[in-house]
Amino acid sequence: MCASQKREILFVDILQRYYKDIIWELAFVFNVYKETLLSHLVCPVTGNNAKCARYLLEAEYLKPKEHRQVFDHALQTAIVFQNTQAIKVLMAANFMSEKEKMMRDYAMKQMVEKSKCQQLYDELKKTMIQTEFSLVMRGLIKTMLAMIKHSKILSSDVFNLCWLHSKDEMESAMLNKCKQILNIDALCDNANDQKWLEEHVLDNRDLLLWMEEVKPVVQDKDNNNNNNNNNNKK
């Protein structure tokens, strides 16, 4: 009902609450047609909501490999009704590689972590006067920089809060620490630091520093002009 009425947020909320109780193979009647939930979502005359179907599959509440019969029947339904959007959603879920799934899950995890820390950061700014807020953040950043320097286990929430407040400072500290650990002349002396880097930094998906946008490289106009002149001379 929620899907057919385009109430996707309510559909997601209900799904998150009760997905463990859902029997995916169970068919039920809606608008005369008796189908499984996934088939209803891709059928234009019943649920007809590819967004809900995509969420159902991407959240892996229903996995194609584990529910092959349900998935294949839904795909057949979408093909019969020529529901192009639903067919694309189902095919993408069916052929998504493990690497793509890992990247998707990583991106979703980063979005959740950033949203969570941003809310805390905004609330701190709202409930404190500016001088108090600056002192608190300065203290947290100073502490976190010391923990990075001494290879201590990092609190992801505190690190991310500091990252939101002073990204360049945190990035510089982490970069310098990595350079120190990976220095070819001191690799044999940094066994514990290497383990810290691998286990508590590189493998920590909650840290925001690994998902920064890469800015496009803008070439200098003078360099472009020089290159063009050189090409013309040739």
Least confident window among 29-33, 140-144, 150-154: 29-33
Q: Residues of the chain with pLDDT > 70: what percent?
A: 82
- How high is the pLDDT of residue 227? 55
Q: Round to whole Å and give the CA distance between 156 and 43.
A: 43
Global pTM value: 0.51
Least confident window among 24-33, 52-61, 95-104, 174-183: 95-104
- How high is the pLDDT of residue 32? 72
Kindly report the average pLDDT of the chain as a whole number: 81
pLDDT reading at 214 higher than 50:
no
Q: How confident is the model at residue 142 (pLDDT cuts 50, 70, 90)?
A: very high
Query: Are 56 and 62 within 8 A, CB to CB?
Result: yes
Least confident window among 4-8, 89-93, 113-117: 4-8
Q: Taking residues 157-180, report their average pLDDT.
A: 91
Q: Round to whole Å and give the CA distance between 71 and 12.
A: 19
Query: Domain locations in the chain?
Result: 8-96, 100-211
